Copies of this chain bind each other. A is one copy, B any other.
C-alpha cells in the first residue's frame, strides 16, 4: 500500500481528490488530506474509506513532520510561498513532492539535495503552467524528431466562462482569483522576440496590441502578451528560436474595454485612496476625471477616453456599474485596484449553475525539407459544475495522473523538474484524453515564414 499526502483541500483540489479516490482501490492507495478547515476535506471525500482527514496547519512543524514521514508522495496545493518547509521535510524523509506552482529559484536550489535523497520535486504540473508545457513539448519533440527546425512558437491560455453561461457584455466572469485579473500585465513591460528582434509592450499599451485567434466551434478570442515570453526559450530548448510569444486569452472586445480602466488609473495598486471607504462607484470613477461641477461623470469619461456613446465599449463600462451611485462597500480605504475588484465582483462572479471554460491554443511554425509548415493545436475544456470546474479538472487531473505513474515506478527522473520530458508528458496527456481533455490539431503548409504579431 502506498500513501499519498494532499496538502490543501480548497477549490482547486476538488478534481484531484476525486481522481485519487476513484483510483485508490485499484492502485492500493491510502490518501491523507490536510487542511485548516476539515469541512473542506469531508465535503470532497464524503469520508471515503481510502481517505483520512486531518485538520491542521501545515506550517506547524510538529504536526507536519509525522504526516510527511508516513507518506510516499506529497502533493502541495498550498500557495507557492508555503512550499519551502514542506520540501525541506520531504528531502529529510526522502519523499517525492508534486506542486502545480511555478518553480522559483529558491526551489531550484534544492536540486542537488533532492537528487542525493533520490526524490523528485515536480513543479508546474497544473494547467498553466502544466498542460501548456506538456502539450507544447509533445509537438516540439515530434517536429524535432522529424528533423524540422522550429521557426516560431506562440501559445495562449485563458480561463473564461462557458458559452452557455456567457451572458454579459464582457463575455467574461471571474473563474479564478479576481485580484490577478485586475492586476494582469502590471509590473515590467511584456517581453517577447520576433524574427530575432526583442519587442517590448508597456502596460499602458498591452491591451491594445492583442492578436485574434479563431477556434472551431467556439468562435473568436483575443490574446494579449504575457509578461515574459523569453524564459520559455530555455525551458523548451528553443534557445535560438527567432519568434516566441505567449499570451492570455479573452473574448474579443474585452481588452479594448479593459484598456479604458487601465488608462484612467483604476487598476493602480500602488496607493490607497483617501476617503474611499465612503465612496460610491461614481465617486471612484470621478476621482480620475477633471473637476467640473456641471458636466456628468459619464460625459467626462467619454470625452477623456474618446468613446462614442454607441461604441460597444461604453455598454461594457455602464453594465459594470461604474457610474452608479452605489456605495462601494469596503470597510476601509483601499487602492484603486482593490476598489475596482470590489465593484467587478458585484457583477462578474459566477452565479449558481454557471460553468467555466479553459481554452488553450498553440501555433508552431517550422521548416522541414525546405517547406514551411505550421501546426495549430488547441483544447477547450468546459466545467461540469461549480465544484468540478474546468479549472479544477485541468489542474487536478495532471497532478493525479502523474502521481499514479510515479507511484507505479514508471517515472525515473529525480531532482527539481518541470513536466517537459516525454517520460512525464506522454502518460499524462494520454490519460487526460479519457477525461475529454484532448487536443485538436491541424498541420498545413504555409507560405509565411513568420508569425505576424502585433
Listed in ascending order, the chain A residues whose CB lies under 8 Å from chain B are 187-189, 191, 194-195, 197-202, 204-205, 209, 230, 262-265, 268, 270-271, 273-275, 286-291, 293, 336, 450, 452-454
Contacts and interface: CB of A to CB of B under 8 A. Distances in A.
A195 B288 contact: no
Given A205-B265, A270-B189, A336 B291 contact: no
A200 B270 contact: no
A361 to B, nearest CB: 20
Contacts of A205: 263-265
A282 to B, nearest CB: 12
Contacts of A274: 198, 230
B200 A288 contact: yes
Contacts of A286: 197
A11 to B, nearest CB: 33
A292 to B, nearest CB: 8
A454 B293 CA distance: 13
Q: Is the interface of A mostly helix, strand, loop or mixed?
A: loop
A209 B291 contact: no
A359 B202 CA distance: 33
Contacts of A230: 274
B287 A197 contact: yes
A287 B199 CA distance: 5
B263 A199 contact: no
A208 to B, nearest CB: 9
B198 A287 contact: yes
Contact of A204 (B197, B198, B204, B271): B204
How many copies of this protein are present in the complex?
2
B454 A189 contact: no
Interface pairs A-B: 10 shortest CB-CB = A202-B265, A204-B204, A194-B291, A188-B271, A188-B270, A290-B454, A189-B265, A200-B287, A198-B274, A200-B265
Contact of A453 (B195, B198, B291, B454): B291
A32 B287 CA distance: 52
29 contacts: A187-B270, A188-B268, A188-B270, A188-B271, A189-B268, A189-B270, A189-B271, A195-B291, A195-B293, A197-B287, A198-B273, A198-B287, A199-B287, A199-B288, A199-B290, A199-B291, A200-B265, A200-B268, A200-B273, A201-B265, A202-B264, A202-B288, A204-B204, A204-B263, A205-B265, A209-B290, A230-B274, A290-B453, A291-B453
Nearest to A202: B265
A293 B195 CA distance: 9
A230 B262 CA distance: 23
A401 B291 CA distance: 41
Contacts of A200: 265, 268, 271, 273, 287-288, 336
A274 B196 CA distance: 12
Contacts of A189: 265, 268, 270-271
Given A198-B287, A202-B263, A205-B263, 20 more contacts: A188-B270, A189-B265, A189-B268, A195-B293, A197-B287, A197-B291, A199-B287, A199-B288, A200-B265, A200-B273, A200-B287, A201-B265, A201-B288, A202-B264, A202-B265, A204-B204, A204-B262, A204-B263, A204-B265, A230-B274
Contacts of A270: 187-189
A205 B260 CA distance: 12
A285 to B, nearest CB: 11
Contacts of A195: 291, 293
Instruction: Determine which residue in A205, A275, A286, A336 has the highest number of CB atoms from chain B within 10 A of its CB, and name it.
Output: A205
A198 B283 CA distance: 10
Contacts of A209: 290
Contacts of A191: 271
